[in-house]
Amino acid sequence: MFCHPIRIAAADIDDMGHVNNSVYLRWVQEAVVGYWRKTAPAESVAAHLWVALRHEISYRRPTFLDDIVVADVVAEQVKGARAFFSTIIRRGEDVLAEVKSCWCCLDAGTGRPVRLSREVVGRFIP
C-alpha cells in the first residue's frame, strides 16, 4: 500500500462548502502516479506514462478545507497494458471516498499502450 498525503486548497471548495467531487479525480491521479513513481525503477518511470481509462467513485462523507486527508493506494492487478488500482481517501478513521480505477500504461516515446515487465509488475503487485 502507498499512502499519499492530500493538500486541500481553497479552490477545491465548491458552493456547498466542501470539496467538489471533480477534485477527487485529481487526487486519485496524483496518488496513483505517486505510487508508480515511488515503486517502479527510475528507468521504468522515465519510459512509461499512465492514462486513466475508468474511475468508479463512491463518495461516503464530505471533505472540508481544513481536513487532514490521505489517499491509500493498492495496485490490485495488471492485465497486459492495463493496471487496476483501489484508492481509499480518508480523514483519520473516516472513509471519505472509495475509488476503483483502471489505467493504461503507455510508452513515453510513442504514446502507445505497452506491457510492463514481470520484474516491474512484481514490485507493486503482491
Domains and CATH numbers, the chain: 2-124 (3.10.129.10)
Percent of the chain residues topping a pLDDT of 90? 95
- Work out the end-to-end distance of the chain between its first and last CA atoms, rounded to an integer number of angstroms: 10
Residue 124 banded pLDDT, cuts 50, 70, 90: confident
Average pLDDT across the chain, whole number: 95
pLDDT in tens, 46-102: 999 999 999 999 999 999 999 999 999 999 999 999 999 999 999 999 999 999 999
Quote the cell numbers at residue 124.
507493486
Report the pLDDT averaged over residues 109-121.
95
What local confidence, expressed as pLDDT, does residue 126 receive?
A: 66
> 6: helix, coil or strand?
strand
Beta strands in 42-93 (DSSP E): 48-59, 69-79, 82-91
What local confidence, expressed as pLDDT, does residue 1 receive?
A: 85
